[in-house]
Amino acid sequence: MGQFDVFRLTGGQLVVDMQTDLIGLDATRIVVPLRRADSYAMLAELTPVVEFAGEGWIVRIPELYAVPQTALNLCEGSLRAQQDRLLGALSILVYGV
C-alpha cells in the first residue's frame, strides 16, 4: 500500500490513496474517489482526468475522505505517474493555488 495506489472498496468504488507514506498512521488513510470521466462534470485543474485501466477517470479531489486502512486491501494499480497533477489539484483545494 502506498501513496497514489488505486484501490477498489467494498461496493466497487475506486479510490486513490493520497496520503504520504512518510506518516505512519495505522488506523486510516486519506483517499479520493475516481469517477468515470463521462459521468461527471470537471473543474479543470481541481479534478484532473487520468487514464486508468484503459478508461478515463476524474479524480474528485474535493471529495477526499478518510477510510480505515483495512478497507484498502484490493490494490488495482497506481497513479504515481500522475502525482504532479494530483498534488497540484490538492494544492488548489487547500491553498487556492
Task: Domain 5-95: state its class.
Answer: mainly beta
* Residues near 96 by beta carbon (within 8 Å), at least 6 away in sequence: none
Q: What does the pLDDT average to over 32-53?
A: 87
Can you give the residue ranges of every domain in the chain? 5-95
Residue given cell 497506481 in the structure block: 78
* Contact predicate 58/37, CB 8 Å: yes
Is the pLDDT score of 6 beyond 90?
Answer: yes
- Interval 13-36: pLDDT, tens: 999 999 998 876 678 999 999 999
What was the pLDDT predicted at 26? 75
